[in-house]
Amino acid sequence: MKFSDFGKRFAGEIGIGELMDDLGDALVADPAPLMLGGGNPAHVPEVQAVFKKRMEDILSKDGEFERVIGNYDTPQGAKAFIGALAELFRGEFGWGIGPENIALTNGSQNAFFSLFNLFAGKFDGAIQKQILLPLAPEYIGYAEVGLEPDFFRSARPDIEILNDRLFKYRVDFDQLKVDDRVGAVCFSRPTNPTGNVVTDQEVSRLRDLANAQGVPLIIDNAYGTPFPNIIFSEAQPVWDENIILSLSLSKFGLPSLRTGIVIARKEIIRVVSRMTSVLSLAPGSLGPALAYDLVKSGEITRVSAETIQPFYRKKADRAVAQLRQEIGDDIPMRIHKPEGALFLWLWFEELPISSRELYQRLKQKGVLVVSGHYFFPGMQQDNWPHKNECIRVTYAQDDELVKKGLSQIATEIKEIYSEL
């Protein structure tokens, strides 16, 4: 069968596709592999109890269930929920936003498809603009979103070596060029895959650079404040008319309900809503229905800070301690400073095999991780060994499972280095 050029993009190997397939297969495999590969958030019991209760209320209130499942929302999304979100952000951060500044999408992944293709690609049929990712490694899910070739440009970061086997990526402003080929600048904060939090100073400089070029700064806040708040370092949330902020209910506990939230100036919201109408008529209604009370009351911020953040922080600390102990001093392993999100990013300097081979070896031993090479969309320099020396490990799952998986990784890594 012949596919169009557009179709061929999806018919080839796609990192995010491979990852989601692995995740799906793992859920039904027997014996199940130790799943340290996906981006699935944990099932946090307190949060699930809140949603269960809310679902029961919907079911028991006369006509409510029928209303929630039986009507399309507008392409912008559930109006009452959007109003509650605007109030929450005004109250929490003092941002001057109203409902006209917010659109819902079917997951924030969907929002990135719309936003990236809105600001990069061909302009006036001629000039080709790119999305600049100022600091790679960056989220695998961006990689295939652009409809034009040569869609992303990403920059190699500075690496700051820290104590206790840690390191941190920093934006290398000396190399970063926001020129007239850049259509928007985007980063995730906290970053998937590394757990990095781009610092307030870095955000401020990136904002200045984007403003000087007259292009938007897109901040992917899938793990950030005020929800789900899986962030362990100090970071000031920012928004203004030149910033597009993307949020999601997924990591708060509703990944299956596909609810993304875009905050932007109203012209952008209007176009994103139009794009939703073309791509899927309307965003799903169930996520907003389940989360409405939490947002309206502001409880979503409290639950995020008091339940979700400590839940993941404990897991991160435990995983780091175990790796430090089990890997031993002879192996040149470093861990990116865990500042948020669900992952540890492990760097094995001068790894004798590629990270892709390491992924395969671990898969054979029954542990799924993600090879780090996927996370450099738009990076031209193929000669940077670092790209093939890292893996992403999720610590969000059950503690026993994570412990076994990390032990298996430690054993395999020691074997690989001993084969030298």
Q: Which residues bind ligand PLP (CB under 6 A)?
A: 39, 107-109, 139, 141, 188, 192, 220, 222, 248, 250, 255, 260
* CB of 353 vs ligand PLP, minimal distance in Å: 27
For ligand PLP, the closer CB: 316 or 333: 316
Compute the chain's Rg from CA coordinates: 21
Q: Is 52 helix (H, G, I), strand (E, B) or coil?
A: helix
Q: Is the CB of 16 or the CB of 159 nearer to ligand PLP?
A: 16
Whether 377 and 10 have beta carbons less than 8 Å apart is answered as no
Map residue 370 onto helix, strand or coil: strand
* Token pair in block for residue 349: 């300097």
Cα 46 from Cα 304, distance rounded (Å): 11
Cα–Cα distance measured from residue 217 to residue 189, given in angstroms and rounded to the nearest whole number: 12
CB-CB contact of 359 with 391 (8 Å): yes
| 409: CB partners within 8 A, 6+ apart | 36, 323, 346, 362, 367, 369, 393
Residues near 218 by beta carbon (within 8 Å), at least 6 away in sequence: 115, 119, 131, 184, 185, 186, 187, 243, 244, 246
Smallest gap from Cβ 248 to ligand PLP, in A, equals 3
H/E stretch holding 187:
strand 182-188
Q: Which is nearer to ligand PLP, 88 or 104 (CB)?
A: 104
CA–CA distance from 63 to each of 84, 210, 232, 344 (Å)? 22, 48, 42, 45
To the nearest whole angstrom, how small is the minimum distance from the Cβ of residue 107 to ligand PLP? Answer: 3
Query: Nearest distance from residue 141's CB to ligand PLP, in Å?
Result: 5
Tell me whether residue 117 or residue 354 sits nearer to ligand PLP (CB atom): 117
Query: Minimal distance in Å, beta carbon 260 to ligand PLP?
Result: 5
Please identify, using beta-carbon distances, which residue of 288 and 351 lies nearer to ligand PLP: 288
| CB of residue 287 to ligand PLP, shortest distance in Å | 10
CB 352 within 8 A of CB 417: yes
Question: Alpha carbon of 262 to those of 42, 162, 211, 278, 378: distances in Å?
Answer: 24, 35, 19, 17, 24
Q: Which residue is nearest to ligand PLP (CB)?
A: 107
* CB of 260 or CB of 333, closer to ligand PLP: 260
Shortest Å distance, C-beta 420 to ligand PLP: 34
Instruction: Work out how close the CB of 195 gets to ligand PLP at its nearest, in angstroms, rounded to a whole number.
Output: 11
Alpha-carbon separation of residue 221 from 102, 198, 227, 260 (angstroms): 14, 11, 9, 10
Closest CB to ligand PLP among 139 and 345? 139
For ligand PLP, the closer of residues 224 and 405 by Cβ is 224
